[in-house]
Amino acid sequence: MNLRTGIALGALLAATTSAAVAAPGADTYKAKCQSCHGAEGTPNPGIAKAMGVKPISDPSVKSISEAQMIAETTNGKGKMPAFKGKLTDAQIKDSVNYFRSLGK
């Protein structure tokens, strides 16, 4: 194996390993939720004001049960659309759990 092949294989292995250890729900959260709720669970101020989105660190958000967050994500709440029929139940649960993990 030459040096270039070794470097290419190392890069491929690193990319594969990173994808394999990504938290369940992270990809769904990034694709469907992050634009309003923020990459780290903190919305940008404009979105927060316009949409009424609170950060994961807000006590009122932290007090919402997992089941209630799943129901709100499934059925929609306020300006947040319903994801029923757009995401599977497992995707909704995983993205909710990922969002909740941002507050820890």
**CA 6 – CA 37 distance, rounded (Å):** 40
pTM: 0.77
Query: Domain coordinates of the chain in residue numbers?
Result: 24-101
CB atoms within 10 A of CB 98: 20
Low-confidence stretches of the chain (pLDDT beneath 70)? 1-21
Domain 24-101 annotated CATH 1.10.3720.10: no
